Amino acid sequence: MNKILVCLKRVVDYNVRIRVKPDGAGIVTDGIKMSINPFDEIALEEALRIREAGNAEEVVAVTIGSQDNQQQLRTGLAMGADRAILVESNAEVDPLAAARVLHALVEKESPELVILGKQAIDDDCNQTGQMLAAIWGRPQATFASKLELAGGTAKVTREVDAGLETIEIDLPAVVTTDLRLNEPRYVKLPDIMKAKKKPLEVIAIEELADDLQPQLTSAKWAPPAQRARGILVDDVDSLIAALKEKDLVAK
């Protein structure tokens, strides 16, 4: 295999407590730690393992967003990606627009495999990988918990509601990763220093796609409703009476 393209997304770090802006226009991001989407980090780790096993020559990390996204691409380069591409856009990009941009990049780079996380932890859309495969006209395997390559095919074990499902798809293809596929490696300081010298290309989003009208808009953001305090009851009759009062059991 010549090349693997890995799609990364910049998100608020999963350890950060999210705060909604007072006007409900979004979440507070000033001074907040940003990281690679955890599912995308797993995708990158899998691509690196494929390359290290001798089944790929190059791993390319790509993301869509502002110049701030270079931080996450440099982290990807420190993990071991050979080069990175930033598709620069200062506007919000919804899943369909992202899929169109990534397809244009696929046409340019001609990878044999595109790997990305099954979903992003900010919007939880779980759409971009499937849309990319449909636009590209190539097979897809989603929710991968195991990936095996053999010649021009990939055997993928998928996590589904009923358990595990194993399918075989022809390459080139799109694979989206689940949590149990692997555990991403720890980035060491020497690798961070080496990443600064690796190539990072910046491409204006308009050079790849022109039909980027968003199909989704966020009307309002709101924090989850606070849970009511629990109450103590003296006996079973008091418990049943309290449940009836809240219409949780039939009266």
Percentage of the chain beyond pLDDT 70 is 100
According to the model, what pLDDT value does residue 27 have? 83
Q: Which residues of 229-251 are buried (b: 16+ CB within 10 A; e: fewer)?
A: eeeeeeeeeeeeeeeeeeeeeee
In this prediction, residues 67-71 reach a mean pLDDT of: 93
According to the model, what pLDDT value does residue 21 have? 87
According to the model, what pLDDT value does residue 135 have? 96
According to the model, what pLDDT value does residue 139 have? 97
User: To the nearest whole number, what is the mean pLDDT of the chain?
Assistant: 91
According to the model, what pLDDT value does residue 47 have? 97
According to the model, what pLDDT value does residue 57 have? 94
Residue-wise pLDDT for 7-62, tens only, equals 999 999 988 888 888 888 888 888 889 999 999 999 999 999 999 999 999 999 99
- For residue 102, pLDDT over 90 is answered with yes
In this prediction, residues 50-77 reach a mean pLDDT of: 95
- For residue 150, pLDDT over 80 is answered with yes
- The closest alpha carbon to 125, from 22, 18, 239, 214, belongs to 214
Which CATH class, in words, describes the domain spanning 3-225?
alpha beta
According to the model, what pLDDT value does residue 230 have? 82
Q: Any idea where the domains of the chain sit in the sequence?
A: 3-225
Three-state DSSP class for 207? helix
Confirm if 119 and 96 have CB atoms less than 8 A apart: no
pTM for this prediction: 0.85
213 pLDDT tier (thresholds 50, 70, 90): confident
Confirm if 77 and 198 have CB atoms less than 8 A apart: yes
Confirm if 5 and 105 have CB atoms less than 8 A apart: yes
In this prediction, residues 76-81 reach a mean pLDDT of: 96
